[in-house]
Structure 1
């Protein structure tokens, strides 16, 4: 069996952070059933440009492989009835909504424990389910500013700068996955579920780590560093070469000794100003110009050919294309493929989560409501008459024709297997 093959997650998720968290669980074999609101066309990620058409987008593919989809209107009594049938046969209800919404729509543990005492309700929100910002919408960009990340990022004389990736969203998704698994472990041990109150704000603040500790205990004020330099270890930063940029880091004294040998500058090793971490940091205004001048004398490839054999931490500063083509990327199997009815073969990056020796299987992201029949009959346990009654009462929205319009062949093939 796959590591999480016996786990069923009902996911009221959308866009990036929430789907990113459950993606890794789905890759590990968990049955992740996406609940998509038919009133708004499902997960908004289906419509993110520029690479998409109708309800298909490569953005959505990146966050939703190996999942199932059910269109369900939770605002209707009929939709709620179906949802509760799903909860009774699930392990986890997972969501990423505004902090006050889980309680409003009744997806907290107190709302659901009568259906399933062991249900784990994991809510990834912007600011958490308590506190003065509870009702505020939380987005990665906003959180990077609020938590001090943007003030720390960029060149000293430049504007506050966002990371090139949505790191608060992605980190929040991973934190939520950890919380979900911990809650599930406890629920299976004790027979009692719980709420997991996870937020992007808590995640962003928690990742301030040692600069926060330094500030809280010693009044340290973080400052931006030139060329992305480490705040205390010198040298550890980006250096410009004759034809590009590379990163070189002396995180241990032995690396500094080796770097001096590569440069062929034995006098540096004897210079008291550069004798250890503290002295190099104190005299960095002298040392760094010397290093920068030296690095400009050769190309990045020439430097890497000297630094790598010496065991000095270093790397070229790649663009995305170069990173994806790196031989180590290939060796680690980090680009995977799925087949899609519109896009054909879709390549994307694999989950970094590895458990055991079994390789994950990869299935494209679901079309909206693609797994209707399977979910409502096998998971919710509904019969034909019940399904028609609930459909008439608006549980599933007025969506089937729209869903089949984009990919009738897929839905016909799905129906043929029933």
Structure 2
């Protein structure tokens, strides 16, 4: 059995952060029953451009492989009844909504514990279920600005800059998955479930890590650094070569000593201006222009072999195409394929979560309401008469 094959999760989720968290649980074997609101055409991620075809998009595929889909109108009494039946036979309810919405939708632990005392209710919201911003929607871009990330990203003379990826969303998904698994462990041990109040805001603030500790204790003020330089280690940054860019980092004194040999200036290892971490940091205005001039003399391909041979941390600054075709990417099986009735063979990146030796089994994302029969008849045991009555009452949407 796969690690989470005995886990069933009801996912009231949409778009990016929530589905990103649960897709890794699906890869590990959990049954993720994705509840899609038929009144709005299901998960909005199905319609994200530019690569869309009807109700299917490559964006949706990237976040929802391996899940099951059920169209369910939780705003109807009958739809709520189906949801409650699912709670009785599931381990967790997972959602990513605005902070005040889980209580309004009655999907918190206090709302559901009478149905299943061991149910774990994990809510990934923008700002959490308490605090003055709990009613605000949370979007990655907004949170990167609010949490201080953009203020310390980019070139010193440039504007505040967002990360090229939605790192608050993705990190929040991982935090939610960890919280949910911790809750499941406790619930199976104790027989009592709980709420997991996870937020993108908490995640973004938590990831400030050591710059926050430096500021809170010593008044350190983070600033944007030239060429993405490390705030305290010199040299550790991007350098421009003759035909591109590479990153070189001296995170230990031995790496600096080796680098002086590679660049043809072994005397710099003992130079009192550059001999120690503190010396190099204090004299970076002298050292970095010297290094930049040296690195511009050769191409990236000419620099990397001697740097690798000296075991100095380094690497090229790839574009996405180069990253996906890197030898190590392919050796680690990080590009996987699934078959889709609209898109044919879909290639995407694998989950980085590895448990044991068995390679995860990947299945395409579901079409909307594709698992109607599996859930209603198979999982819940409804007969044809009950399914027909629920359908007539609008539990599964007007088009069901």
Q: Report the TM-score when normalising by structure 1.
A: 0.95
Partner of 1:143: 143
Please give the per-residue CA displacement for 1:302-328, whole angstroms capped at 9, x wherever unaligned. Answer: 000110011000000000000000000
Q: Secondary structure at the match of 1:298?
A: coil
Please give the per-residue CA displacement for 1:370-408, whole angstroms capped at 9, x wherever unaligned. Answer: 0000111222232221111111111000223xxxxxxxx
Partner of 1:112: 112
Quick one: distance in 2 between partners of 1:114 and 1:314? 56
Quick one: distance in 1 between partners of 2:72 and 2:187? 27
Partner of 2:381: 381
Count of matched residue pairs? 400
1:61 matched to 2:61? The reply is yes
RMSD of aligned Cα (Å)? 0.6
Partner of 1:81: 81
Quick one: distance in 1 between partners of 2:157 and 2:332? 39
Partner of 1:31: 31
Please give the per-residue CA displacement for 1:149-192, whole angstroms capped at 9, x wherever unaligned. Answer: 00010000000100000000000000000000000000000000
Partner of 2:267: 267
Q: Secondary structure at the match of 2:333?
A: coil
Please give the per-residue CA displacement for 1:255-278, whole angstroms capped at 9, x wherever unaligned. Answer: 001000111212211211111111
Quick one: distance in 1 between partners of 2:130 and 2:284? 45
Q: Secondary structure at the match of 1:46?
A: helix
CA contact under 8 A between 1:120 and 1:183: conserved in structure 2?
Answer: yes
Q: Secondary structure at the match of 2:311?
A: coil
Please give the per-residue CA displacement for 1:29-48, whole angstroms capped at 9, x wherever unaligned. Answer: 00000000000000000000
1:90 matched to 2:93? The reply is no
1:46 matched to 2:46? The reply is yes
Partner of 1:121: 121
Partner of 1:411: none
CA contact under 8 A between 1:237 and 1:248: conserved in structure 2?
Answer: yes
1:363 matched to 2:337? The reply is no
The residue correspondences of 1:99-248 to structure 2 (distance < 5 A) are 99-248=99-248
Q: What residue ranges of structure 1 are gaps of 5+ in the alignment?
A: 401-418
CA contact under 8 A between 1:85 and 1:381: conserved in structure 2?
Answer: no
Q: What residue ranges of structure 2 are gaps of 5+ in the alignment?
A: none
CA contact under 8 A between 1:45 and 1:57: conserved in structure 2?
Answer: yes
CA contact under 8 A between 2:257 and 2:266: conserved in structure 1?
Answer: no
Quick one: distance in 2 between partners of 1:365 and 1:399? 21
**Per-residue deviation, 1:230:** 0.1
Partner of 1:403: none
**Per-residue deviation, 1:134:** 0.2
CA contact under 8 A between 1:340 and 1:346: conserved in structure 2?
Answer: yes
Quick one: distance in 1 between partners of 2:376 and 2:250? 58
Q: Secondary structure at the match of 1:395?
A: coil
Q: Secondary structure at the match of 1:273?
A: coil
Quick one: distance in 1 between partners of 2:324 and 2:152? 28
Q: Report the TM-score when normalising by structure 2.
A: 0.99
